[in-house]
Amino acid sequence: MSLNQLPEEILIRHILSYAEITIFDLQSLMFSCHTLYRFIRNSNELWRLKFSTRWPQIPIQCQERNERIWYERVALAIKAAKEVNNTLQEMSFQCYPLNQSPLSAADKLITGQHPIPECVQHELELMASTINENLTTQYYARDVLTKVKSRVIEHKLQDLMARPESQKSLVEGAALISQWFELGMLKQTSRSDIRRAIDDLTERVKKLTISTVCDAKFSFPTAEACDSLEKAKEILDVIHLVMFREIGFKLSPIYGLSLDHYCSIAEVLETKRGCHMLITIIFQEVARKLGVPLQIVIYGERSFHGERNLLLRWSKYPGEVDADRIYYIDVCAEIYESLKPCHCYQAAMGQPASSAQQVFQQMMSTMLEQLRNHWGSFLNFTGKGRDNDSRLLIRLAIIISPQERNLVLEYANLCLALNLQMDDAAQLLQSVGLQGHQMIKKCTEKVWRQQILIIAAKFVCNRPPTLKYAVGLIMEFKSMPVFYTNHSQPCVIVSWSPNFQKAGQWKTVRRRKAKSVQHQAYYHILIKNAPSGFIGLNVAEETLELHHDPDLAHEQLGSDFIGNGYFERFDGRRYVPNAELIARFPEDEKVVIDLIAQ
């Protein structure tokens, strides 16, 4: 009996639904005969199952199960996966092609080509995390994944800011800000997890309210308005009781928090410690879900703790202007009292409710000020120093306040200093009307200088007989005490030069008698676990010795800190160069084999 003679239900549910039958197997079957094509093509449940099997990290909402044409969605997702592979293949040795920056690669993958950025992220995550994946591909996958995530978050924040004020969710915005500071991580804060945590908190308040405050027939007011001051006060008191006494939420001073903790609502929900703003946002969201709408009011100057004064405001009628019918609550006050009359907060009288944009602008300005004044590089979340932390913060602040010229200029200055994202800086300068600004000229000049170095690096290097070591070898770097407490560092060679050549993108370590060593060979190396800024070094041959312990597999050594991919894999003895590196140093292979054999 052939497949097309079986009942469709048996064929779909008991044969084709197996995980071993892939999407490509189904496509092959479809084109084998008209009958199979017809019922496979039209089986919506089968294609939904294959989609969830192939992309398990993409959540499927209940209403999507039957509303979507899953065959078409799978086809678009497969197209997205092919585009991811093609984009990574276009990435070249030591940098991106002249017409292909990481940002333009991200834009290509998430705009105009297909409407499924979740599939793009999933494909990149697979390539970035696969063990024994080609190290060069793995590096580019991680880099492009970071840029894709940043573009997706940027678009979502822009969409949020463009909504009417009544439709803006502070929790959604706080979740996106949390995700921004997790760009380098494969796993990000899940908005569904945040919603679930707040829903759980809301349910605890509901149960306590019904059991201890009100009778069993108590009904919560609608989300539009609360019908009385007394009922609103009862609900807010129980929310505070649950959050601060039962669960143990606690205000932490800004200088006692790391930067990633300060800006992460997920961290606050997990640890029950956080800044005034995020705790207030959580309180406001629970109150909204229980039918007590509150508005955030930011007023006054910055306090000793670095934040401006922050209150939640309630009134019986939306848009109330009569001060006698407006009440305030400070959720983090040492002596808590809900819905105090307006005259208790003289400095807040007459202050309008803060918009979502103003709330997030306040978060950004507080974080930037604290980063500059209190948070040192030892608390940074990027691992690349405080300047890069500032760059990421300012880039996020620009998304929230896109017309702030001073922010754009500060961002461009940091990009130039760090040799990062200069094309993005130039675009932002143009977007705020600074087309003729000298910063754009500096960015353009630096980009061209880098491109010239990239082109020059592609020429074949003929190996001189005096050269001792080769690309891919694991070495021991004998450093000077001024750079490291441990004077011996494992490293791997990524290129060499017969004589010392100054290159702006490499840190240089030279002996005191610099003139006597400039005529010997120099090697570009990557160092495992080096301090920030010293991952890539240009060192003299006399500072290197062959390392006999090959246990040096480390993710840093697949690429350097300025965006260069070098190796295909670690074979247990050495790092195997990619095709571009082999073409540049064609004679190194034999030297590596001989030295390892010794």
Q: Does 466 map to a domain?
A: no
125-161 pLDDT, tens digit each: 777 776 556 677 777 787 788 888 888 899 899 999 9
pLDDT given at position 400 = 92
Q: Which of 103, 123, 141 is the last residue of a domain?
A: 141
Q: Tell whether 268 and 323 lie within a shared domain.
A: yes
Burial label for 590, CB within 10 Å (0-12, 13-18, 19+), is exposed
Lowest pLDDT segment from 67-81, 117-131, 221-235, 551-565: 551-565
pLDDT given at position 115 = 58
- Tell me what the mean pLDDT of segment 584-593 comes to: 83
Most confident of 25-34, 266-275, 316-325: 266-275
Residue type, 276: H
Contact 311, 345 (CB under 8 A): yes
Contact 525, 541 (CB under 8 A): no
Q: Tell whether 257 and 348 lie within a shared domain.
A: yes
Q: Which of 329, 345, 363 is the last residue of a domain?
A: 363
pLDDT given at position 219 = 59
CATH number of domain containing 242: 3.10.620
pLDDT given at position 445 = 85
Q: Tell whether 221 and 315 lie within a shared domain.
A: yes
CA distance 511 to 243: 60
- Tell me what the mean pLDDT of segment 19-47 comes to: 76
Q: Does 441 map to a domain?
A: yes
Band (pLDDT 50/70/90 cuts) for residue 235 is: confident
Nearest to 67 by CA among 93, 90, 95, 45: 45
Q: Tell whether 532 and 547 lie within a shared domain.
A: yes
Q: Tell whether 421 and 542 lie within a shared domain.
A: no
CA distance 466 to 157: 57
Q: Tell whether 402 and 387 lie within a shared domain.
A: yes
Q: Does 171 map to a domain?
A: no
Whole-number average pLDDT of the chain: 76
Domain that holds residue 491: 474-597
pLDDT given at position 379 = 43
Question: Domain count of the chain?
Answer: 4
- Tell me what the mean pLDDT of segment 32-48 comes to: 76
pLDDT given at position 555 = 47
Q: Does 469 map to a domain?
A: no
Q: Tell whether 344 and 196 lie within a shared domain.
A: yes
Residue type, 50: K
393-445 pLDDT, tens digit each: 899 999 999 988 999 999 999 888 887 788 888 889 999 888 888 888 888 88
Band (pLDDT 50/70/90 cuts) for residue 300 is: confident
Q: Does 170 map to a domain?
A: no
Q: Tell whether 503 and 427 lie within a shared domain.
A: no
Q: Does 160 map to a domain?
A: no
Q: Does 551 map to a domain?
A: yes
Q: Tell whether 132 and 280 lie within a shared domain.
A: no
Q: Tell whether 506 and 395 lie within a shared domain.
A: no
Q: Tell whether 290 and 419 lie within a shared domain.
A: no
Band (pLDDT 50/70/90 cuts) for residue 221 is: low
Q: Tell whether 439 and 489 lie within a shared domain.
A: no
Q: Does 285 map to a domain?
A: yes
Q: Which of 399, 421, 456 is the last residue of a domain?
A: 456
CA 266 to each of CA 172, 182, 271, 300: distance values in angstroms, whole numbers, following the listed order:
11, 11, 9, 28
pLDDT given at position 588 = 85
pLDDT given at position 399 = 93
